[in-house]
Structure 1
């Protein structure tokens, strides 16, 4: 994309340059400095114009004046007065969570922006992370850009492959071509998993999607205290020498520094910043002093929490006066029915969630303050979307200490969870609150994240602020809008049109519409008339104030389980949103003809938007690309780190053998030979005081250590770890044997292995460990192998 910010010269300009070049080359030839034969086009032009063309006497030197005025390539400039744009997107924050929309979590930065700008109470997302982010940046429906589900679980059907096409250029790319500086900070979650390795390809990394600079993480989530960081196109380590390090603070620091640098070096150039901190997706972590702020704040439980939030929403005018509070869904217990131990655990989990959101709001406030101090605030359009979907119920009925437990079908024992209650919100856990609080944080709506058929999954709070362009009138904006509408709004505000083509590729039309018509007219009729929704087989359709959607067929926490549903036999619900803001009165039986019409519209829109076939993500996953191309034999001849899961040896449901040809030092050898994952699940083969050790961390209490009692002598050795799986069952047990120079030195059982991913947050490393250790018997700082190895081979096979 070299030179994409430089406009191509016009035809007259090109001809002028050719004429100048001809004169210069001719003079050089005459002076004997070079021998030339003109290109055919130049020779023809010279012959036709020979009578008129002046000759340069040999005795006269060529001056700058003789060649005409200097002509520089024209630099692209943004339209005069175009605003900066700060686009903020948080993660998994339900509509009824923040104080700005009547919720229990204080968010003063979000509040202040709303008080100076506009609030929208009918803004909708897609019900899941990657699809919302793809639609936000491209202005197209998620299935139209092949992101019908999160990038972690794509399928081979059009609309679901996770490959954003070149025909869907992002708003970042359009603004960059239009003269803006562009940067992304935080969570991307837009790169296909098989393209996330250090070798790329980088087309769908943020820097390939139009961002000049990226600092953050590529996947769904990361540890706030030890993040898996990427800067531009390379993995980097977080600053381990800072005992108070936490990602949200780091992101704000980096964002402020980037703005300062851009404005210091190119003061007339506006910027587009996409700030997506990843909070409050699990893990819910925050500094200790912020965790303490919320002790006891949720002791009332989820039932009363919703009632209190609903009352505040009414008083604030966040929801209409006639809105109804929807009842607790079947399957979620009443708070008063829980034991004292469960209440104590569950409230501690939701306190960490609230602390994470409040702390993130504080850090975003630092960015806003920096804009004010620099004088850029008044002409900065701030678009703040609180959540990329509804609050998440993926913690299940009891919540989890580790998100990885849900992914790997591990039910954490309640006693074990209680034994670690004081660690919740800190660096050693990857905690998530129970489903009841997800429903509680989505007041007044039904359901939660994943459920695109109901507002609990797709309704999110939106605030826009632009002092120079939007006059605050204190009135709620109640027009129905969708996440695709953000990109066209930005383009209209900046005065830059969506191009017909980018790099010669014809662009798909935008599905979104600009929301700028709402800026100065609170009562303007809504301009979005129809919108189709589908996520995880939950289907919905909006049309001119009516909504039809399917009843959810499985629990959000069962995402890792294959549950087949008959799409055509699903139960549908019908709502009149003109009188029923919260979808509280199902009219399906009362108005069957209207329901049939809405269903017909859904299927028509689904066909048009590449949603069909509607399927579970386990269907169509066969043949999914991998960086390794299905290899079963891997050879490593030098240390390497941050190899993503799809480029690592595929061990799940397999037997495998690791063989290390090493030379050990005179002192007892230490350090990692091979590891994958970290504190929250994975395995490590390493030496401890000269003794070979294999540790399998299957999450929580499920820790398996097999170690030799003999320290190895200095010199050359062949060290082998062989895992014989009992069967090809994913997550199943097996026997691990360690041998040295052909002699068995240790053997033991591993009673559970990983079912879903070994690690979606930490990579595969050779010769050291990165980010967090798999076992607590070594540290990252002392994980580097102190010997040398010629080769480490890793072979994967089906169980015998």
Structure 2
């Protein structure tokens, strides 16, 4: 008889190691009755499905084929054909709040995201970090035996904590994902992404000019699944695929753009009308529903297509061709993912959720833009003469050299049949497409068309997935009880379309815009109430009979308006909505801890590209000095690079000359000077001038040379790519230099580059609040 033997720890000379008794509970005492010591793994329920959540950025309700689009999206259409389309699904008006609500099932302000993660005014509903007691879907699925993967846009970490030295407790891996690849920021470029992160580390590889981010994210997602299956043949996975498309700058592959050639020459009025007719023929809306009006007074100033001249029609049509091409790339991504799951025999037992985070955006302005960061300035007003659309060749649009975005007229089409855009609490900002498919578990009955008209909200996705997968949400997280969710599972609507519709009571608030839904009613306001004399900023709509908000009936039902307004107020208090940010300075408030980022910093050659926000704090809306130190042979290559084709500056040595290029949102300025032998110090000076401008000079051997007397200052999100020393990281600033040398790593005696921030410009509206005694002394 073989006696089962317990493993032992071997110490020096065969003796048991000191502290062996401390291993009790890990290695059981020696006994013939003892069992193996290793713990049982956590396993998902037998036969549990995989889950894939696909979230598109800034895509309107009608931009894919199952919701009325002319854009060919067969893979997404196939998901809808096998699954369910929700025609009454709402999200938040901007991305971060929607993402927080989707991943937690908790209303966005309670989850800390009443706005995008690019602000930090210090209020509970705007703290820009997911609370420790609200598990993400990754944490929920991971605790139940799932592998958890994410690719793409995160945007749930306050930007001051996205640099490599930051506390990473709010990064994807720390919030439950086993693996992560993507952009931590709110957006990035589709060619030459400005900063990608793998797990907790920056990706430093060079991207080819034709590498396209949607394709790369798809490669990474498939590789994650394949790697899991190489090690475990049965463990289910949760994949959160958060596309960067179609957020600006909108870019697409040349072949995809070419396939759209001429598709939008008819203009936005006709395309929108055609989409609405398809929506009605698909059964998404009743025949008596009206298309919301398209006049300038109803759209923020969009002109009728027939009133435009030929050159503007050609330009605007090209913008939409690029946008449509980016959507087709998303569909190709879905097709590749589905094909892989079919190849490994797991498609049938995979739940798919497909949606977008808010409505189509009007941030391209009435004319659109080919210089996105010049238009997307995030400043309350810009000086007269500011160029928000630097002209570029039509042939370059959509490619890596142009950071563009379509005009508001096409955003109006994207949101067909609704009014307004991203950022608004009217339906165009919050009404998104939703598809749910699970071939093995949610097969439709023969007579079921798969259309679900009941009200659903983004917080409902998490409890629905938990119920479908037969798992439970953690009751404790990090040692504390978890907060209750706000969402409600819509599994009953998936199982039986004859069930009565859910009666919603849901608030939506974005900055001063407000809405409240209950039953067939919606009250909505676009600005905050400013006092007792502002009697009623609310409009009232019957969204069952009038889902497109054509007829305001508030004057006919003042009692309903008052009741729903009061319910909004109570919901706002419960969800930590207040205070409403009704003053610009509130959103410009930052904690004094960010002053640390404004101290001088020395960067060594080859240091991974500094994160965007960390870089911006050194240069934004101020004067600066950039000091490069050399030793021995001056050599050749990039000294310093900051920015990309969307705007930036770069200095390099070539042929015994110092070269400096300044990219003003696509308008290039270039200068060069001979570099004498033995120069050990080069100082670039950016002096802040009035009206958002810089004068740029260089000091060599004690002599100052003016390079550019006056150039438009880089503001808002520009420079987008962070600071690189000794190479051109991310997207290239000067395309001609990039074509000659690529990253052009420095070879020679460059010892380092020091940034010395100078005085703030008077138009810098940032308000710094001291949060401790040390910070108060620094401010003084």
Same fold? TM cut 0.5: yes
Counterpart for residue 68 of structure 1: 34
The equivalences for 1:276-675 within 5 A come to: 276-328=242-294, 329-330=298-299, 331-385=301-355, 387-408=356-377, 417=391, 419-452=392-425, 454-472=426-444, 473-527=448-502, 529-551=504-526, 569=534, 571-616=537-582, 618-624=585-591, 629-648=596-615, 649-665=617-633, 669-675=635-641
Output the CA distance in 1 between the equivalents of 2:700 and 2:339. Answer: 61
If you compute each CA radius of gyration, which structure gives the higher value, 1 or 2?
1
Question: How far does residue 497 in structure 1 lie from its aligned partner after superposition?
Answer: 1.2
Using a 3 Å threshold, how does the CA distance of structure 1 residues 414 and 384 change in structure 2: closer, same or farther?
closer
Partner of 1:768: 727
- In the TM superposition, residue 238 of structure 1 has moved relative to its aligned partner by 5.1
User: What is the CA-CA distance between 1:509 and the residue it aligns to?
Assistant: 0.9
Normalised TM-score (structure 1): 0.87
The answer (yes or no) to whether the contact 1:676–1:764 under 8 Å persists in 2 is yes
Partner of 2:100: 134
Question: In structure 2, do the counterparts of structure 1 residues 624 and 796 end up closer, same or farther at CA, with 3 Å as the change threshold?
Answer: same
Q: Which moved more, 1:421-430 or 1:175-184?
A: 421-430
- Are residue 711 (structure 1) and residue 675 (structure 2) matched? yes
Distance 1:216 1:566, change over 3 A: farther
Displacement after TM superposition at 1:65 (Å) = 5.2
Per the TM alignment, residue 625 of structure 1 is displaced from its structure 2 partner at its CA by 6.1
Task: Tell me the C-alpha RMSD between the 2 structures.
Answer: 2.9
What's the CA shift for 1:343? Answer: 0.9
**Following TM superposition, by how much is the alpha carbon of 1:620 offset from its aligned partner in structure 2, in angstroms?**
4.7
Structure 1 residue 693, shift from structure 2 partner: 3.1
Q: Cα 1:119–1:734, aligned 2, differ >3 Å: closer, same or farther?
A: closer
Which residue in 2 is equivalent to 1:750?
710
Aligned to 1:54: none
1:735 corresponds to 2:710? no
* CA offsets 1:424-451 (integer angstroms, 9 cap, x no match): 1111111111001111221111111111
Partner of 1:558: none
Distance in 2 of aligned mates of 1:600 and 1:129: 27
Give me the whole-angstrom Cα distance separating, in 1, the residues matched to 2:29 and 2:185: 59
Distance 1:455 1:513 in 2: 21
Given the superposition, is the C-alpha separation of residues 578 and 567 from structure 1 closer, same or farther in structure 2, using an over 3 Å criterion? Answer: farther
Q: Which moved more, 1:148-157 or 1:272-281?
A: 148-157
State the match for 2:146 in structure 1. Answer: 180
Contact 2:121 2:590 in 1 (8 A): no
TM-fit CA distance, 1:477? 0.6
Structure 2 portions without partners, runs of 5+: 762-780
Instruction: Find the residue that maps to 2:126 and give its secondary structure.
Output: coil
Q: Does 1:118 align with 2:89?
A: no
1:244 to partner: Cα distance:
4.1
The alpha carbon displacement at 1:488 in A equals 0.7
Aligned length: 737
- Structure 1 position 747, deviation (Å): 4.1
SS at match of 2:556: coil
Moved more, 106-115 or 151-160: 151-160
Query: Does residue 1:152 correspond to 2:118, yes or no?
Result: yes
What is aligned with 2:754? Answer: 793
CA contact (8 A) 1:641 1:768 kept: no
Moved >4 Å (runs of 4+): 31-39, 62-65, 409-416, 564-568, 625-628
Q: Residues 568 and 629 of structure 1: is their aligned pair in 2 closer, same or farther, counting only changes over 3 Å?
A: farther
Unaligned runs of 5+ in 1: 1-19, 43-61, 554-563
> 3-state DSSP class of the match of 1:366?
helix
Classify the secondary structure of the residue corresponding to 2:170. coil
- Per the TM alignment, residue 540 of structure 1 is displaced from its structure 2 partner at its CA by 0.6
Tell me by how many angstroms 1:463 deviates. 0.8
Aligned in 2, Cα 1:568/1:315: closer, same or farther, shift over 3 Å? Answer: farther
Conserved 8 A contact 1:706-1:746: no
Q: C-alpha displacement at 1:405, in angstroms?
A: 1.6
Q: What CA distance in whole angstroms lies between the structure 1 residues aligned with 2:509 and 2:326?
A: 29
TM-score normalised by the chain length of structure 2: 0.89
Structure 2 Cα separation of the partners of residues 161 and 356 of structure 1: 33
Matched, 1:229 2:182: no
